[in-house]
Amino acid sequence: MAKGKKAPVSIAPKLVALLKQLSAEDRPRAIRAALLLVGEGGSESLDLGQGGDGGSGFPVGTEGGRGRVGKAQEFFAKKLPRTKLEELAVAARYREDRDGTTSSSKAELEAIFKEARKNFDSKHYRRDLENAKQAGLFTRAPAKEGASLSDYGLKYVDALPDREAAKALVRPKKGKARGKKKRT
């Protein structure tokens, strides 16, 4: 150890005392901020155990409203969506984190896709959204009200890129099909 430097073990109790004053959600952000202030961490992601709780793992101070998410391109790279349905859900979740919204219009999702440098299939948007609703990722609200992630969809995106954790989620039950009654 260099002369004049304190041992990490002697500083740890002070850090713990300070961190106990913060909420569980704010602790990793405080650690990232402190590391950035002393010149550590740079612009890369410092994942401090936020996992699937909705935290993005991006440094404090990145673009994106409340500081929880970075750029759309980084969010997509972190979540690694494989299908158009997953891409729609990831874009909607990104908007929720960045803007604090609960629904997204076609134009708003298209802007997120553009920011993430992903292809947005405008021609088949209604079909893709309907398929995402059938998969349980979005609520069954009419399209004119905007696309809103369902509880399952929110948990699914938060679990990504861990495919096993995403598959382990309990899928919503589909309603019973109502058909015409047969007349005898």
Q: Which residue has the tokens 């998969």?
A: 135
Return the pLDDT at 173: 80
Are 135 and 150 in contact by the 8 Å Cβ rule? The answer is: no
Q: How confident is the model at residue 174 (pLDDT cuts 50, 70, 90)?
A: confident
Show the tokens assigned to 136. Answer: 């349980």
Mean pLDDT of 89-100: 94
Q: Which residue has the tokens 């969506």?
A: 81
Helices (DSSP H) in the chain: which residue ranges?
Answer: 8-19, 26-37, 72-79, 84-99, 106-115, 125-134, 151-159, 163-168
Q: Would you tell me the crossing angle of helices 125-134 and 84-99 to the nearest 10 degrees?
A: 90
* Structural domains in the chain, sorted by start: 72-168 (1.10.10)
Q: Which pTM value belongs to this model?
A: 0.59
**DSSP state for residue 175 in the 8-state scheme:** P
Q: How confident is the model at residue 90 (pLDDT cuts 50, 70, 90)?
A: very high
3-class DSSP assignment, residue 92:
helix
User: pLDDT, tens digit, for every residue of 44-83?
Assistant: 444 444 444 444 444 333 333 344 456 999 999 999 999 9
Averaged pLDDT of the chain = 79
CA distance 124 to 129: 9
